[in-house]
Amino acid sequence: MPKVSIIIPTYNVEAYLRQCMDSVTGQTLTDLEILAVNDGSTDHSLEILKEYEKKDSRIRILDGPNGGYGKAMNRGLNAATGEYIGIVEPDDFILPDMYKDLYQIAVKENLDIIKADFYRFTGDNPSNLEKTYVPLSPSGRGYRQVICPAHRLEVFKFVLNTWSGIYKRKFLEDFQIRHNETPGASYQDNGFWFQTFTQAERIMFLDKPYYMNRRDNPNSSVHNREKVYCMNEEYAFIRRFMEQHPDILKTFMGVYHYKQYHNYVFTFQRIDDSFRKEYAKRFALEFREAYDRQEIDESLFSDKDLYNLSILLEDPLKYYYWQSFNSEMQRLLQENNRLKKEVRYVEKLRKSPVYRPAKALIKTCRKLRRK
């Protein structure tokens, strides 16, 4: 049995795939099973995977027609034979010791899940990436201790993803945890992490980054109407899961709506402006119904969240304009900070020892040009 099975769900990522595969095959933990799931790519992704498969016997390609992220992930999960399972998105890459370090701790502590901090980055040059450290715990608390989420609901305020850690395969099998397979859907990682966190008893967070998450276009908008309500559909999937497990429904209903709210806000900000008024109405409708069922735990929300939520429930159109105003203010603030940074840079140049000779040289060149 391999120590870790790594699933790489692949669809049209030829530009980044080699960097990803190099980082996976170069792991210091060598006892790996690498499952590259080709989800009907129409570029050269499959050919690249076959090149790596020829060079490394640990790689197995699962090739099939395009069925969406959830189906691709489930094909990988069903085929995995490792003691633990990791996920690497094909446009990301990982640092060499990731699986060695996570596996050692997971086995020592008998963990269902271990997650680590990560980097978000932009750029293609490995020696000159712009990267931002992302801690999973906003408060800095909760690291390097065994946690049961049912007894520590504050972990749902952590940055939750599916790829910066590993999962015990027996745990996933025992609870039959799989992704939502709705064709054409998005955000299907939400249902996966929600299932894992509501059923795991032993989780640990590590305050060390290993995973490099690409964010070359963090402000990209959703322009396709069919994609606008994908997050809502994923939370409907999560709700159905909870209703099948009454204990989970009772324990985690409050955090369900907390995460739902923040992910709906994320969706509202990401979709094209032409869809936002309509989305605000749907957003308000779902939360009015949740309030009517007395399912909202306001103690989980910040004062700012509750204020914004009150505007939404009062008048979705007012919420739309309020958020548009906030977004514009944030844009202007960022632009102001950028200009201040440029001014500081110019002032630094003016004080440098080369500034005066350079200025004199420029004046001389201009005079010569006029002659």
Instruction: Give the tens place of pLDDT for each residue, 320-365.
Output: 999 887 766 666 667 667 776 777 766 776 766 756 665 565 666 6
DSSP letters, 133-146, are EE-S-TTS-SBTS-
pTM assigned to the model:
0.86
**Where in the chain are the domains?**
1-218, 224-371
Residue with tokens 């990436």: 129
Nearest Cα to Cα of residue 26 among 62, 46, 56, 60 = 56
Beta-strand pair 93-94/203-214: antiparallel
Please provide the average confidence, as pLDDT, over all residues in the chain.
Answer: 91
Cα separation, 92 vs 214, whole angstroms: 5
Q: Look at the chain and count its residues.
A: 371
Nearest Cα to Cα of residue 31 among 60, 4, 59, 61 = 4
What is the reported pLDDT for 264? 98
- pLDDT tens readout for residues 58-87: 999 999 999 999 999 999 999 999 999 999
- Position 219 pLDDT exceeds 60: no
What is the reported pLDDT for 369? 63
Cβ atoms within 10 A of the Cβ of 106, count?
24
**H or E element at residue 331:** helix 316-350
80: Cβ contacts below 8 Å, ≥ 6 apart:
5, 7, 33, 35, 169
What is the reported pLDDT for 370? 62
Across the range 200-220, mean pLDDT stands at: 87
**H or E element at residue 163:** none
Instruction: Supply the DSSP symbol for 35.
Output: E
1-218 in CATH: which number?
3.90.550.10
- Position 218 pLDDT exceeds 60: no
